[in-house]
Amino acid sequence: MEILVCVKRVPDTSENEIEINKDGSDIERDDLVYSVNEWDNYAIEEAIQIRDNVGGAVTVVTVGDEESEEVLRREMAMGADNGLHLLDSAFDGSDGRGIATILKAAVEKGNYDLILTGALADDGAGQMGGMLAAMLDYPYASLVNKIEVIDDKKIKAGREIEGGNQEMSEMDLPCVLSIQTGINEPRYVGIRGIRKVASVEIPTLTAGDLGIAPESVGDAGAKVKRMDYFMPEMGEGAEMLEGSTDEIIEKLIEMLKAKGGIK
Ligand SMILES: Cc1cc2nc3c(=O)[nH]c(=O)nc-3n(C[C@H](O)[C@H](O)[C@H](O)COP(=O)(O)OP(=O)(O)OC[C@H]3O[C@@H](n4cnc5c(N)ncnc54)[C@H](O)[C@@H]3O)c2cc1C
């Protein structure tokens, strides 16, 4: 099975103090530590496990600047067979539709049976998988937490439904799935794995290579305009109860009674 996994390089929120930039249009991106979007690691792990069970190859693709190559290399160190870097200054400032347009062109250059995205990335739109599937006219399932390969024409995709119920659907290939965290346990990437792929050539494709009109993507093609980016004002602070444990319990009961929480 030929599997394409879409990955995004995102600021590592555990390593960074996130601040809004001066003109309030984005976060301050200088000096941030970046890593692979968490959801994409689960998608890669799932793709590797499927390949190891049924054969085929895993290709990992990103739309991003020069530095984004590091996430391709990391996922190749994890076990992906190939990397593909979609790199062109015309892609800068793409909205979600722009990113999906670029990824669609890359999908059409290959011969993929299964396309995996993360369910969500740092911008939190959760839109890429659905948009990509619609553009390709492929079937799509979101928030997938289980995949079973039936044969080279069909898979079963599982989703957790409200209330903890599980749904299983049979889907025709090729299809697009957005992967939920927890579907597996992503493997550890060791130094040996990173060294092994350090000098592997990763092909890049530009707008021209992909047959994309530059003005249809990037800033020029964006149909969504971000108007503001800010941290919401803090609400009223928490009230710290002082005193002995018994006094605190008494005060807490009074407060809950006053607010109608208990009678
Ligand atoms: C007007 C505007 C301008 C923007 N300008 C920029 C910009 O200059 N630079 C920038 O980085 N972002 C920019 N963005 C944000 C960019 O459009 C989003 O990164 C993109 O829409 C994906 O949204 P998301 O992160 O919410 O992804 P989601 O839809 O939440 O992500 C789901 C999955 O899609 C896949 N995916 C998402 N992005 C990529 C990618 N780049 N490559 C491969 N797979 C991907 C991953 O598998 C990911 O797990 C801009 C957005 C707007 C509205």
Classify residue 218 as left (phi > 0), alpha (psi -120 to 50) or beta.
left
What is the chain's pLDDT, residue by residue, as a tens digit (263 residues)? 999 999 999 998 888 888 888 888 888 888 889 999 999 999 999 999 999 999 999 999 999 999 999 999 999 999 999 999 999 999 999 999 999 999 999 999 999 999 999 999 998 899 999 999 999 999 999 999 999 999 999 999 999 988 889 999 999 999 999 999 999 999 999 999 999 999 999 999 999 999 999 999 999 999 998 888 888 887 777 788 999 999 999 999 999 999 888 87
Contact 141, 169 (CB under 8 A): yes
For residue 116, give the ligand 1 atom closest to its CA.
47
Cα 260 to ligand 1 centre (Å): 45
Under 8 Å CB-to-CB from 164, ≥6 apart: which residues? none
Specify the residue with its C-alpha closest to ligand 1, atom 7: 93
Q: Give, for ligand 1, the residue of 29, 67, 123 to mutate: max count of ligand atoms closer than 8 Å to Cβ.
A: 123
Cα 9 to ligand 1 centre (Å): 10
Domain locations along the chain = 2-221
Ligand 1, residues at Cβ distance < 6 Å: 6-8, 37, 39-40, 62-64, 92-96, 99, 117-118, 120-128, 222, 224-226
Specify the residue with its C-alpha closest to ligand 1, atom 48: 118
Out of 3.30.56.10, 3.40.50.620, 1.10.10.10, 2.130.10.10, which CATH number does the structure's domain 2-221 have? 3.40.50.620
pLDDT tens-digit series, residues 180-198: 999 999 999 999 999 999 9
Structure tokens at 112: 């993929």
pLDDT tens-digit series, residues 166-183: 999 999 999 999 999 999
3-class SS of residue 39:
helix
Structure tokens at 262: 């208990």
DSSP 27: B
Structure tokens at 28: 């301050």
In angstroms, the CA 112 to CA 120 distance is 22
